């Protein structure tokens, strides 16, 4: 079985609405006095990322078909890392690195994801739809 890939026709998530948080791997131990004690519950953690995308009607249909293809959010999928994928590679002083043809060299990164605990939320903005959802980026 192949893992589905995020549709290429969907736009990058908005900067507004972006939130990321690491899953807490700690298990608290009760102490009678003094600061709390912790130990690791597990060794690898997922990262929870909240995303927002503004979509046209056709992109909304593409999102809904994709969501259905990953078992209504229960299956894993590959998604381009919005913080890295497609951004130019830079030198230490911030100058883009170029290919021999003069085109910028672009970074590439993928996330293996699951949709988050809550279902995507849709808001209508004129003729567009804003979809808010979260993903768990797997280690």
| pLDDT for 44 | 76
| pLDDT for 17 | 80
Tokens of 45: 């953690």
Question: Would you say residue 100 has pLDDT above 80?
Answer: yes
* Cα separation of the two ends of the chain: 20
| pLDDT for 110 | 94
Question: Would you say residue 134 has pLDDT above 90?
Answer: yes
Q: pLDDT-derived band of residue 128, with 50, 70 and 90 as boundaries?
A: very high
Tokens of 101: 């043809």
Q: pLDDT-derived band of residue 121, with 50, 70 and 90 as boundaries?
A: very high
Question: Would you say residue 73 has pLDDT above 80?
Answer: yes
**What digits encode the pLDDT tens for the residues 10-52?**
998 988 888 888 776 666 666 677 677 666 666 677 889 999 9
| pLDDT for 49 | 93
DSSP code at position 3: P
CA-nearest of 63, 48, 74 to 7 is 63
| pLDDT for 127 | 92
Q: How far is CA 129 from CA 61, 101, 139, in A?
A: 10, 39, 31
Cα–Cα dist 53/125, whole Å: 12
Whether this prediction's pTM lies above 0.85 is answered by: no
């Amino acid at each position: 079985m192949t893992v589905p890939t995020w549709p290429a026709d969907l736009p990058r998530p908005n900067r507004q609405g972006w939130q990321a948080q690491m899953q807490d791997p700690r298990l608290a131990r009760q102490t009678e006095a003094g600061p709390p004690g912790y130990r690791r519950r597990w060794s690898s953690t997922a990262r929870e990322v909240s995303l927002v995308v503004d979509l046209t009607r056709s992109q909304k249909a593409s999102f809904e078909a994709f969501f259905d293809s990953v078992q209504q959010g229960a299956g894993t999928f590959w998604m381009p890392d919005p913080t890295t994928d497609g951004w130019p590679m830079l030198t230490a002083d911030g100058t883009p690195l170029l290919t021999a043809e003069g085109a910028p060299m672009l970074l590439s990164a993928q996330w293996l994801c699951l949709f988050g605990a809550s279902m995507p939320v849709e808001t209508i903005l004129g003729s567009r739809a804003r979809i808010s959802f979260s993903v768990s980026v797997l280690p």
